[in-house]
């Protein structure tokens, strides 16, 4: 199983320079849709419901302070760890969401049930480290996938 750094490296390889916020949202959607389509997690790292939408804290700590990124920090992320099946999921996510602007991705992820449920009663803009579970992602995006089928 790849880690979130492998997935981020693959996304950057495919898409090129982007904001770190957009990278976070694309990694989130890759995880969510891979869970919906295959029932399996794409990476093991925790996803949290931060004020600006879903964030993987481990990835955030690697690019903290950067506004945009074109490649992962040296020695982090190896695209060869991603199987063809996993790559297919990430490619489908990039085809669907890759042209969206970061603020559009923030708005969309915040409008969806997994983020809203994980935030619970946390006020707008307040810090929150509540987890968005794989079950919540699989359930929500699985229903969307079924509706599209």
Q: What is the pLDDT of residues 92-104, one digit of tens each?
A: 999 999 999 999 9
| HEC profile of 17-59 | CEEHHHHHHHHHHHHHHHHHHHCCCCCCCCCEEECCEEECHHH
Average pLDDT along the chain: 95
pLDDT in tens, 36-72: 999 999 999 999 999 999 999 999 999 988 999 998 8
Is the confidence at residue 73, as pLDDT, over 80? no
């Amino acid at each position: 199983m790849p880690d979130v750094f492998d997935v981020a490296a693959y996304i950057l390889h495919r898409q090129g320079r982007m904001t770190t916020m957009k990278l976070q949202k694309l990694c989130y959607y890759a995880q969510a849709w891979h869970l919906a389509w295959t029932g399996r997690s794409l990476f093991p790292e925790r996803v949290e419901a931060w004020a600006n939408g879903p964030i993987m804290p481990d990835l955030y700590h690697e690019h903290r302070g950067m506004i945009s990124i074109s490649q992962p920090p040296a020695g982090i992320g190896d695209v060869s760890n991603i199987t063809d099946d996993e790559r297919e999921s990430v490619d489908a996510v990039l085809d669907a969401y890759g042209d969206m602007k970061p603020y559009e991705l923030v708005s969309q992820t915040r409008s969806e049930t997994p983020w809203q449920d994980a935030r619970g009663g946390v006020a707008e803009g307040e810090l929150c480290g509540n987890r968005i579970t794989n079950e919540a992602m699989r359930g929500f995006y699985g229903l969307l996938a079924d509706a599209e089928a």
